[in-house]
Structure formats: C-alpha cells, structure tokens
Chain A
Amino acid sequence: MSDISSVGVVTPQTAHFSEPLALKCGATLPAYVLVYETYGTLNADRSNAVLICHALSGTHHVAGKHHEEDKHPGWWDNMIGPGKPLDTNRFFVIGVNNLGGCHGSTGPSSPHPETGKPWGASFPVVTVEDWVHAQSRLADQLGIKTFAAVVGGSLGGMQALQWTLTFPDRVRNALVIAAAPNLTAQNMAFNEVARQAIITDPEFHGGDYYEHSVVPRRGLRIARMLGHITYLSDDAMGAKFGRKLRTGEIKYSFDVEFEMESYLRYQGDKFAGEFDANTYLRMTRALDYFDPAADYDGNLSAALAKAKADFLVISFTSDWRFSTARSREIVKALLDNERNVTYAELTAAHGHDAFLMPDQHYHDIVRAYLENVE
C-alpha cells in the first residue's frame, strides 16, 4: 500500500564540482562530488528551497524510499513529505551527504584523484564551515540564491546555525534543533573515546585499512555503542530495556544477558557493517571543532551578530548530550542581537534521539513555524 504522505520512491543524484574547495584546515580539495536527493518542486522564483543538514551518521537520504519494497525510509521521513510538518507540497527540500561522508559524497573511502586509491588517512579533516561552503555550491548549481529555511538536528543544527553566519543573506529561516553553540568537555570526551576505539583497533592501519581489505569493525562497533548510550536518556533506556533478561535468567557469563546489551550490540554491529571508520573520525572532529564564538573571545552574542535569519530553536528536556541549557545559550545570543527567535523546550523522554521521533507537539511546532514561512 502506498503512503500518500510519503515522497515515494526517490533517486539520489550526484553533483560534480571541479572548482577546488579551500578547507578550514588549510588543505584544498581539488574536486569533489556531493550526493543529494530532492523532494517537492522548486517554484518559479526559486524561493521555496529548504536544506536539510544531517547529523553524525546521517545521509542525503532524508525522506522517501529507494524502491517500492524499501523497508527503510529516509532518516527524517516522519517530518518530511506531502502534508507533513515540512510539507513537500509547498517546499523543495534538499538532503545532501556531507563532504567526508561515506554514502556517495567525496570522503576518505573515495578514490584520490592522483593515485586512484582511497584517500584514507590523507583525506583532510573537514569542519562544519567547510560543509556549509560545499552545500552553498550545490545551492549555486541548483540555482538557489536563498533558502526559505535551513534545518538540522544535532550536528545538523550546528550547520543550520553556521549557514546564518557564513551566508547571512542566503538563509531566511534557520531551524536549529537539539544543537549547541559548541561541545562541552564532557561531550567531546565521548567523541575521544569513540575515536580511540577506532584508532586502536588493529585493523585501522593508521586509517589506510582499505588497502589491507579490512575494516576496523570492532572499534567502530564500540564507538557506536557508546554513542547510542549518550543519545538515550536514562529513563528512556529504563523504559525500553530496564533490567530485562533475554532468557529470563542470569547465566553468570559475559554473553548477551540483558536486553540492553542485545540492543547495543545489534546497533554496533549494524553500524560497523555499513559506516566508514574514517568518516566517523571526521564527523566527531567536526563536532569538536564547531565553536562560532571562538573567534570572538567566547562571546556568542558577538559571533551571532552577523546572522540575519529568523530562528526556531528547539531542545528536548531529557537530552543530556545536547542539553536545553546549551540551546538557551543560542537563544540568548539571538535575543541579544534582536533576531526574530522562537524557542520551544519540548518535554520528551527519548534523550537526544527525541529530535528524530514523531512526537505530536514537536511536529505541531515545526509545522506551525513553517506554515508562516513564505
């Protein structure tokens, strides 16, 4: 049965860029590709485009499915589609895989233009600013001068915020969801443990594991397991698993005994089988380095003075990795600059993952905000 609120079957597209891209780290990417998907129709004056920025492990596949029997729709399919909060009957929505990714856009597993071998360790460390630059070139190619909105959760929210700073005249609304103006030491610490798990995996080979035909699966698996713990709240894990045993009895072993262990191992295994370890390292570094206030002596209000967009900032009460207090910092800096800003602090049990959940009130807020976007 076809779902009328789904964008249906979508086909990813590839944009080629031959103009070199200077990166924040000092390196230059000579040429690159970005894989993207679009939903809805670009209107005549090209004013209804919405860019979706993905988080750590996200992709360009934001909504719809890749074939009729596809059981796994895009990662934000509950938010985007005909009649959904981000209504593709009104908006032309773009999902793009970021540079350094592993889903088709140029990244560490892509062939190096000179050697033809995977970039591996030599692929530069990319930043949120670099992504925004690359995304802007995609917008150029599609003939989009300004976005009606740039939208993202978590690391995606950071990109939405960065858009308003790098290209203040090209984004009319920014939806910054479950994000932060930078990572706290504790938050970065989780990233460091994740990276150490990968880097110390004997099959990492300094990042050039492709040529050994292996992948640092164990490291990536542990990194993902750790991540999942931080994306859920204590309450959500308690409600979902509690102390439930898989077989109903304790076995005095180190096998999977508790349901929670089964969940973490499943998520870890699944992720390790499909994600690139070098990409994971770079995504976490992009998170660590994001800090728009750094150039302004830590003064976020001064950093956001450039922004011209209107903002919807959303946080979730049980999100401890990107806490409500961090979103409030963004809101305060926007208030200091007299930006139009609405801040919704949503009561949610799911922790950081709440930004992906189909909560009615959350969706109502996003829908109501976007209905007022011209």
Chain B
Amino acid sequence: MTHVPVQAHVHFSQAASERRDFTAIAQWIAPGAKVLDLGCGDGSLLGYLRDTQSVRGYGVEKDDANVLACVKNGINVIQMNLEEGLAGFEAQSFDVVILSQTLQAMYNTERIVQEMLRVGKEAIVTFPNFGFWKHRFQLIGGNMPVSKNLPYQWYDTPNVHLCTISDFDNYCRQHHITVRERLVITEGKTIHLFPNLLGSLAMYRCGIAP
C-alpha cells in the first residue's frame, strides 16, 4: 500500500515538524494506521503522517489547485465536496478520520462529525477557538476577530460555523460523541489552564462510546 516514492519526492517531516498541530495529531495515530484526511489541502498533513507514522492515507479535497498539489506530492486524493457527505466511503473502513481546521468552514457541520465516526473508528477534529481571549477582546472593542488562526475579514471569511471549546464540548455531549482526548494549544504551547480563554487552537480525539 505504500505509495511509490518519487525522484523529486517532497519530504514533509522536516518542514512540518514546526507545526505543533501536526505533531500532536501524529501522536494520536498508530503507525501504519489507515487515515482519511477531510479537507486535506495540499496534502502536507498526510505527507507528514506518511513520513513519520507510515500511515496509509487518503485525502479529500474539493479545490482544483489543492488536488493538483496533492498529486504532485504523491498523496492519494479524492476530489469531492465534503458537504455532500461521505457516501463514497464504507462504514468503519478507516482507523482515523481527520478534519483539520475545516469544521468551521462547513455548512453541514452537525452531520460531518457523525459521518466521520461512521467511516472511521476514531475522529480527530481541530478548529480555531473562537473563545480565545484575543477574539473576545476584539469583539468587546466592537469588531469581528481577526487573528493568526482566523485571518479573514468578516466579508471574505470562508468560516461559517465558528465555535468555542465550550460549544464543541456541548456539541459532543448532545450528539453522544465521546471525547477521548483533548489538546489545546497557543503558539505551539499546550494550554492547561482556562483553555477556552487562553487556547487558540483546539484539538479533539473523538469516538463513539462502546
């Protein structure tokens, strides 16, 4: 199942080691796992996981330029729109399904996490925490938050379903999703105290309670 390495093969482990969220996700994935990355972009996360964890991976992506980048990077990518669900994937056919910083840009948000847990034995969801203190300050100041993790203006943002860590906790509870592990980071550092206030990026490892 390993993809044939190529002459100009891009090695992701180095460039990506800077990305704390990548290393955190990698820690949650067993070597050789079968992984589906939803909204995989140019495939750098999958490339990183392939190089560090020897995962067997597939990406899902709708954007032409990103699909092309994945092909260049030797990443298996399926071009489709996540909003239509994951009907093309069998139930429980992946060890892990990842939704990395894409949740907030989806319309069918409620359905997608359940779809992830239908297709995968486990789901990893990461999203920018709207409750981060810098965001709250900007709102108190009277403006929509713009930050490193939310780099858009209100009029050009693709984000339509922003939430806080507290919101996502509630969502999981209401939808019978078990949070197996949660990691909150800011500037690459793990946040333990007041995560909903001090955390800029939230990462969840979820499953369905047995």
Chain A residues packing against B (C-beta within 8 Å): 310, 312, 328, 331-332, 335-336, 338, 340-347, 361, 364-365, 368-369, 371-374
Contacts and interface: CB of A to CB of B under 8 A. Distances in A.
Contacts of B64: 346-347, 361
Nearest to B4: A374
A342 B68 contact: no
13 contacts: A310-B4, A341-B76, A341-B78, A342-B70, A342-B76, A343-B77, A343-B79, A343-B80, A368-B68, A371-B6, A372-B71, A372-B72, A374-B6
A352 B120 CA distance: 35
A149 B156 CA distance: 43
Given A341-B78, A343-B78, A361 B68 contact: yes
B6 A364 contact: no
Contacts of B8: 371
Contacts of A345: 79-80
A335 B93 contact: yes
Contact of A365 (B56, B68, B75): B68
B4 A372 contact: yes
A245 to B, nearest CB: 37
Given A340-B76, A342-B78, A344-B67, A335 B58 contact: yes
A365 B80 CA distance: 15
B88 A342 contact: no
A139 to B, nearest CB: 21
Contacts of A346: 64
Contacts of B34: 338
A328 B86 CA distance: 12
B189 interface: no
A342 B6 contact: no
Contact of A340 (B1, B68, B79, B88): B1
Interface string B56-68: 1010000010011
B3 A331 contact: no
A341 B1 CA distance: 10
Contacts of B76: 340-342
Nearest to A313: B78
Contacts of B89: 332, 335
A331 B72 CA distance: 19
A331 B1 contact: no
A202 to B, nearest CB: 49
A182 to B, nearest CB: 18
A361 B72 CA distance: 13
B90 interface: yes
B74 interface: yes
Contacts of B3: 310, 340
A328 B76 CA distance: 14
Given A331-B78, A343-B79, A371-B8, 4 more contacts: A340-B76, A341-B78, A369-B71, A372-B71
A361 B67 CA distance: 10
A368 B80 contact: no
A369 B1 CA distance: 17
B67 A365 contact: yes
Residue from B71, B80, B88 having most chain A Cβ neighbours under 10 A: B71
Contacts of B70: 342
Interface in B98-114: none
A343 B56 CA distance: 16
Nearest to A373: B4
B79 A344 contact: yes
B78 A368 contact: no
A190 to B, nearest CB: 27
Contacts of A368: 68, 71-72
Contacts of A312: 71
Given A331-B88, A336-B90, A338-B56, A372 B74 contact: yes
A365 B71 contact: yes
A335 to B, nearest CB: 7
